[in-house]
Amino acid sequence: MPAPLTDRRVLIMATDGFEQSELEVPRSKLREAGAEVRVASLKNGEINGWDEGDWGNAVHVDLLIADANVDDFDALVLPGGQINPDLLRVEENAIALIQAFASAQKPIAAICHAPWLLIEAGLAKGRSMTCYKSIRTDMINAGAKLVDRPAVVDGKIITSRCPDDLPDFCGAIIEALADAPTDA
């Protein structure tokens, strides 16, 4: 079992329409492992999840994406859902933050439709990745090597397909954080 993550800080980037479980489960599992987890979004206050065909629970926003600094965190988690990544992929600050995590060689974990954000950030080409079935063609067109597994790790990029994959997704994030040097 990986060492406790008591010295680790993780940023979850999301906005309204995030897949409820894809934010809440990683946040809970990372906190249980000892990590400090914060949520960054496009607006202050709360953002609303999407859960099984309707609006879900609200989640408190800790900081604006524009104010997030890669130096303050050890990893970035990108929940999916169809709405959330589609809204974020047109936001310059969101894409710049993803690129900053990649440049800093820090883990970036994206599930479901969130690999759209990795495509937009220019991080898909040549990487082994997985995603939700409806964006597979997008991943292939972006140059990713599509793999159909619950969690795929390629360097510092972790991808998963759907909520059913959350145990593997969370495990891969925790393992990446346990193995990574701390500088946040």
Q: Which residues are catalytic?
A: 113
Residues 6+ apart with CB under 8 A from 149: 130
Q: How many residues are present in the chain?
A: 184
- Find, among 19, 12, 14, the residue nearest to 55 by Cα: 19
Per the CB < 8 A criterion, the answer to whether 64 and 97 are in contact is no
**What 8-state DSSP symbol labels residue 98?**
H
The total of other beta-carbon atoms located within 10 Å of residue 40's CB is 22
Does residue 172 contact residue 30 with C-beta atoms inside 8 Å?
no
Residue ranges with strand state E in the chain: 9-13, 18-19, 36-41, 46-51, 54-60, 63-64, 75-78, 108-111, 128-129, 145-146, 151-154, 157-160
